[in-house]
Amino acid sequence: MAVDKKFIGREYGPLTYEIGKEKIKEYAAAIRNEDPHYMDDEFAKNSKYGGIIAPPTFAVIYSGMLAAPFFMDSELNLDFAMLVHGEQEFEFYEVVRPHDVITTTGKIANIENKEKVDVVSLETYSKNQDGKDVCKAIFTFVIRKR
Amino acid sequence: MAQEIYYEDINVGDAMPELVKGPIQKLQHVMYAGASGDFNPLHTDDDFAKAIGMDGVIAHGMLIMGFVGQAITSWIPRKYLKKFGVRFAGMTKPNNTITVTGKVTDRRVEAGENLITCEVVAQDENGDVKITGHFEAALPSRG
């Protein structure tokens, strides 16, 4: 069954996420990204950032939290077995650091009903504890029709 | 690791330094699942993957986007990166080796910012495309 276009504009959040330094290191290690900006305290302290920062794609962790209430929204009736992550976009503003408290809100930005697939886009907006923008993200999911 | 980079030093057609990742092991899928919180068993459980008609587990698309992000911020300091978007074009399987390449497609001064746009692609050892994407960065001027 197609995802109903009436859900365009439906909002989720806000959800908050506190950035952990060891979580950043764990994420960088999983990518096998040895860039010391993300893992080496001593190096990072003397960098232009003055400490460890999060790599750009770490945004999927704090902004992607909003995917949980979206996926679990039973009214959408998403067919998980047929769902794939089709596209991902980020716009970056402030650099993210350990102990930042990120608040993310979002909405269903678009739903397209095509012949063989539905395409659903979730747009999220994340701010830090100072109210400054850190990231806008668009998660686009493609759901094949059975 | 990214060194300082200036707008004047970048030309349309310049290549981003290539990054080779892998071969990817299933262990890395597990590490990525734990680090990211994405526990979809399609990425870690061969029995589950086979039950839904796949040959076996596939990597998280976001792991491959993470490789592309690594390639970018190994070249351009993180704080200059403004936009980064990808399309997931193909599945990545265990033992694939991923090569990330890119090139500058545009440079312009806009609203006082020195912007560059680059296209990026991630391919496996057979040339099969996993990700196509683009990014935009605002660079400092030597001026």
Between CA B93 and CA B72 the distance in angstroms is: 23
Q: Domain of A59?
A: 8-144
pLDDT band at residue A62 under the 50/70/90 scheme: very high
pLDDT of residue A81: 83
Mean pLDDT confidence for A82-107 = 97
Does A2 reside within a domain? no
How many domains does chain A fold into? 1
**ipTM over the 0.90 cut-off:** yes
- A138 to chain B: nearest residue by CA? B85
pLDDT of residue B62: 98
| Residues B122/B130, Cβ–Cβ less than 8 Å | yes
pLDDT of residue A68: 93
Three-state DSSP string of A87-145: EEEEEECCCCCCCCEEEEEEEEEEEEECCCEEEEEEEEEEECCCCCEEEEEEEEEEEEC
Mean pLDDT confidence for A39-50 = 96
Spell out the residues 6+ positions from residue B62 whose beta carbon is closer than 8 angstroms to its own: A57, A60, A85, A88, B32, B36, B38
Does domain B7-24+61-139 match CATH 3.10.129.10?
Answer: yes
pLDDT of residue B52: 87
Nearest residue to B87 (alpha-carbon basis) of A139, A97, A88, A2: A88
Peptide bond into B23 cis (omega under 30): yes
Please tell me which residue, B101 or A146, carries the higher pLDDT value: B101
Spell out the residues 6+ positions from residue A110 whose beta carbon is closer than 8 angstroms to its own: A8, A119, A120, A121
Q: Residue B7's beta-bridge partner residues?
A: none
pLDDT of residue A132: 98
Peptide bond into B94 cis (omega under 30): no
pLDDT band at residue A80 under the 50/70/90 scheme: confident
In this structure, what CATH number is given to the domain that contains residue A113? 3.10.129.10
| Residues B136/B57, Cβ–Cβ less than 8 Å | no
| Residue numbers in chain B where pLDDT is lower than 50 | none
| Packing angle of the helix pair B26-36, A21-31 (nearest 10 deg) | 160
pLDDT of residue A23: 98
Query: Chain B residues within 8 A (CB-CB) of chain A?
Result: 1, 21, 28, 31-32, 34-38, 52, 61-63, 65-67, 69-70, 72-74, 77-79, 81-88
- What does the pLDDT look like over A2-21, one tens digit per residue? 899 999 999 999 999 999 99
Does A3 reside within a domain? no
- What does the pLDDT look like over B73-94, one tens digit per residue? 999 999 999 999 999 999 999 9
Domain range summary for chain B, segments of one domain joined by +: 7-24+61-139
| Packing angle of the helix pair A21-31, B61-73 (nearest 10 deg) | 100
How many interface pairs between A and B have CB atoms less than 8 angstroms apart? 96
Does A59 reside within a domain? yes
Contacts of A61 in chain B (CB under 8 A): 36-37
DSSP secondary structure letter of residue B14: P
| Residues A105/A135, Cβ–Cβ less than 8 Å | no
pLDDT band at residue A111 under the 50/70/90 scheme: very high
Does A44 reside within a domain? yes
